Amino acid sequence: MTYPWHLYLMSLVYILAGIMHFIKPNVYLRIMPRYLPKPKLLVTLSGFAEIFLGLGLWFSVTKDISLYGIIGMLLTFLLVHFYMLKGEKEAAGIPRWILILRIPLQFVLIYWAYSYLGDI
């Protein structure tokens, strides 16, 4: 089945983001909330999740499951975004205004995924 180019773009975004978890794991470890156990494992699992969910968008049998997975993942990642607003150490050197803008961006990404459910 052929999908619109922007669904493939979404797929590529998540696949590349997932790959970055393995290329630059320290970036993700720095922003991992301290209250979560086994941060290295969580970075690895989230990287695999992004890659597999991105790949799942390519197939009609897994597209909607992947979209629900992406929405769930983005909602979960909101914990990280709010955690990073807690203080300078948690912000990992990222300016506060960028951290604040990332929160509505999460909802844009959630809507983007939601918009493909069932209709393609």
Q: Are 66 and 56 in contact (CB under 8 A)?
A: yes
Is residue 1 very low, low, confident or very high in pLDDT (cuts 50, 70, 90)?
A: low
The mean predicted confidence, pLDDT, of the chain is: 94
Q: Are 46 and 35 in contact (CB under 8 A)?
A: no
Structural domain harbouring 106 = 5-114
**Count of the separate structural domains present in the chain:** 1
pTM score, two decimals? 0.91
pLDDT in tens, 38-71: 999 999 999 999 999 999 999 999 999 999 999 9
Residue 37 lies in a domain: yes
Q: Minimal CA–CA distance to 74: which of 116, 108, 45?
A: 108
Residue 119 lies in a domain: no
Residue 120 lies in a domain: no
